[in-house]
Chain A
Amino acid sequence: MSQSMTGRFLPLTRRNLADSWRGLLGWTAGVTGAIFLYVPLYSSFSGDNAGFEDIIASLPDGLASTLGFQDLASGAGYVQATYLGLIGFVLFTIAATLWSSAAIAGDEESGSLELTLAHGVSRVQIMVERSLGVILRLLWLSIVSALLILALNDSSGIDLEPAHVIGGCAALFGVGVLAASFGLAVGAITGRRSFASAAAAGISLLGYILNSLGNQSAGVEWLHNLSPYYWAFGNSPLSEGADWGALGLIFGISAVMLVLGGFVFNRRDVSA
């Protein structure tokens, strides 16, 4: 252990980030584009004469609630419905799926994990550092999201509390980390990129579907309790601030998944 301390700090995480900065640049541009596309549009929809409420009312029953469009008239409701709960959620889910499945399973399938493992690193170190690489990239996208929403806060008229913007982006970060932890864990356990991708995208999709179903009627509202998406966004963090307890649950489950993945990864054969 003492010898590993003589090596430079977090070599695998730094390699992971160095290998992926071009991709991250693209994702940053995507997040930036989505926010610049949607948030400024609020000013043209809001106001008494915009007729925005009429548009919502004209949607088929259930569609508005499925999409989370119940409260589009407020700035918080609008940013939640367009960015945090929809485009941002989709972007974070895709990024988490791609990155988490590549981190271990993708590297194993390509055959390069073998050579890394043959060096002076432990399996646990690989799991920890590669997971950290994915989480840091998601954190970056969350910070970019928060900064851009804050930058547009006045000009777009969404008029959000800065602390609530941070809380909302923390919730977005939470659902991204949850998806990534499933992808990382299943990738570490199975070594199969397809399984890792399915797990990461699956947990996000499941959360979204359970939330949408729970929105439909009071009878099935209990489905919200099972939805990580609802845990993150159900309390309308942009108007109420983050539900840190719920986020704690999300991060806790993510940590359990990563520990489970690392535990199995440390004991199984790595394929060529």
Chain B
Amino acid sequence: MTYAIETQALTKRYGKNTALDGLDLAVETGSVFGMIGPNGAGKTTAMRLLLDIIRPTSGSATVLGQSPITGGAALRRDIGFLPGELLLEGRVTGRSLLKHYAEISGPVAPGRIDSLAERLGLDLTRHVRTLSKGNKQKLGLVQAFMHEPKLLVLDEPTSGLDPLVQQEFLSMVREAQHNGQTVFLSSHVLSEIQNAADQVAVLRNGTVVKVGDVASLRASAIRRVVIDFTDAAADDIRTALLALPQLANLTVADGEVIQVTGTVEGHIDALVKAIAPFHVVDLRVEEQDLESSVIDLYSNEANK
């Protein structure tokens, strides 16, 4: 197993403020790796350390087998970077700006810029400063993808893009992966990661609180269940369900139909088996998206 990115206890402090607190990450070569977390969790700091825009206080990082500091300019030619806050100015056309970035990055195949711009619906003849936020973001994506780098580091890549362009972006990510490129992207919009990433790291307060694939994160997600029973005693049901450690926030509403609600962490197998002896009229399991799952993760962490 080779890793496109590896960090060991990567730490960045600004005075007393710790932006990144001992980050340990391993991003497999050829994978699409997502990093999620709220603003201030350290996502942008981590990416800027990988690009050698800032230097770590302690710990180390390896990018494509090299330290970002010693790898220098030659290493960065193999990386495509999209900053989280893309500020493009100037009285130059998009094409002229991209030509400039092509000169200072890895070689760009002829026609590559035009085909990317066409896919994203970007007009390269317009002056950069007149572009909308979404169009600037497209320009940023083109400059990151155009030299087909071994590693793409994309900070909030779909911010400002409309849903159709987001779909096009996702297909660009899949193509990159198909070409053997590694994609490392961040977001606070979790649905973006859900569709793109094989692996997800959840960051909070500068450290990883969880790493897993999307499916396992979902499996560990908290689901809300609603069960309707008839022809049963509410107390029997309550007794049976209280024995389940996975079930929380249990409410039992007695009546002609006994309605039970609660939340289940992890698999619902035990719950299904526990209710099997009773007459179940209806069972609804509301699958939470990754977003709610991660928010639960935060609140669980915070409660510890």
Which A residues are closer than 8 A to B by beta carbons? 1, 3-4, 6-8, 11-12, 15, 18-19, 22, 110-112, 114-122, 125, 267-270, 272
Q: Which residue of B lies closest to A111 (CB)?
A: B87
Taking a contact as CB atoms under 8 Å apart, the answer to whether A122 and B72 are in contact is yes
Q: Can you list 24 A-B contacts (CB < 8 A)?
A: A3-B73, A3-B77, A4-B73, A12-B104, A15-B100, A19-B91, A19-B92, A110-B87, A111-B83, A111-B87, A112-B89, A115-B81, A115-B83, A115-B140, A116-B104, A117-B52, A118-B83, A119-B77, A121-B76, A122-B73, A267-B55, A272-B48, A272-B83, A272-B85
In Å, the complex CA distance between A119 and B140 comes to 13
Chain A's nearest CB lies how many Å from the CB of B51?
Answer: 5
Report which B residues bind A (CB closer than 8 A): 44, 48, 51-55, 72-74, 76-77, 79, 81, 83-92, 96, 100-101, 103-107, 140, 143
Instruction: Give A92 to B85 CA distance when docked, in angstroms.
Output: 35
Question: Is the beta-carbon distance between B86 and A115 smaller than 8 angstroms?
Answer: yes
Closest chain A residue to B107 by CB distance?
A6
Residues A120 and B54 in contact, CB atoms below 8 Å apart: no
Verify B81–A112 contact, CB threshold 8 A. Answer: no
Number of A-B contacts (CB under 8 A): 80
**Contacting pair B74 A111 (CB below 8 A):** no
With both beta carbons as reference points, the residue of chain B lying nearest to A8 in the complex is identified as B103
Residues of B contacting A116 in the complex (Cβ-Cβ under 8 angstroms) = 104
Interface of B is mostly: loop
A residues within 8 A CB of B104? 7, 11-12, 116, 119-121
Complex CA gap A269/B51 in Å reads 11
A19-B73 contact given A7-B103, A269-B54, CB 8 Å threshold: no
Closest beta carbon of chain B to A190's beta carbon, Å? 15
Bound-state CA distance A18–B91 (Å) is 10
Chain B residues in 8 Å Cβ range of A112 = 87-89
Given A3-B77, A114-B48, A125-B73, the answer on whether A11 and B100 have CB atoms closer than 8 Å is: yes
Asked if residues B55 and A120 are in contact (CB atoms below 8 Å), the reply is no
- B204 CB → nearest A CB, Å: 21
Q: Name B76's contact: one of A19, A119, A267 (CB within 8 Å).
A: A119
Q: List the B residue with the shortest CB-CB distance to A11.
A: B103
User: Taking the nearest CB of chain B, how far is it from the CB of A104, in angstroms?
Assistant: 14
- Indicate whether A120 sits within 8 Å of B106 (C-beta atoms), given known contacts A3-B77, A4-B73: yes
Additional A-B contact list (10), CB under 8 Å, known A118-B53, A119-B101, A125-B73: A3-B73, A3-B74, A11-B104, A19-B91, A112-B88, A114-B53, A115-B86, A117-B51, A118-B51, A119-B105
How far is A118 from B86 in the complex, measured between Cα atoms in Å?
Answer: 12
Q: Give the CA-CA distance A114 to B103 in the complex, in Å.
A: 16
A120 touches B100 (CB 8 A): no
Say yes or no: A120 contacts B51, CB within 8 Å: no
Contacts of B85 in A (CB 8 A): 111, 272
Residue among A110, A112, A118, A272 with most chain B CB within 10 A: A118
Q: Give the docked Cα–Cα distance between A125 and B104 (Å).
A: 11
In the bound complex, CA of A118 to CA of B89 (Å):
17
Q: Which A residues are CB-close (under 8 A) to B51?
A: 117-118
**Does B100 contact A118, Cβ atoms closer than 8 Å?**
no
Closest 8 interchain pairs by CB?
A111-B87, A120-B77, A118-B81, A269-B54, A11-B103, A119-B104, A120-B73, A122-B73
Interface centre among A110, A114, A268 (most CB of B within 10 A): A114
Selected from B54, B90, B105, B140, the residue in CB contact (under 8 A) with A270 is B54
Provide the residues of chain A in CB contact with B81, threshold 8 Å. Answer: 115, 118-119
Q: How long is the Cα–Cα vector from A267 to B79 in the complex, in angstroms? A: 21
CA distance A125 to B54 in the complex (A): 17
Q: A119-B105, A121-B104, A272-B48 are in contact. Are A22 and B83 (CB under 8 A)?
A: no
Contact B90 A19 (CB under 8 A): yes
Which residues of A are found within 8 Å of B72, using beta-carbon distances? 122
Complex Cα distance, B98 from A11, in Å, reads 12
Is B55 within 8 A of A269, CB to CB? Answer: yes
Could you say which residues of chain A place their CB within 8 Å of the CB of B89? 110, 112
CA gap between A122 and B53 in the complex, in Å = 11
A168 to B96, CA, bound (A): 39
CA distance in complex: A270, B103 (Å) = 22
- Per the bound structure, the CA–CA distance linking A4 and B103 in Å amounts to 10
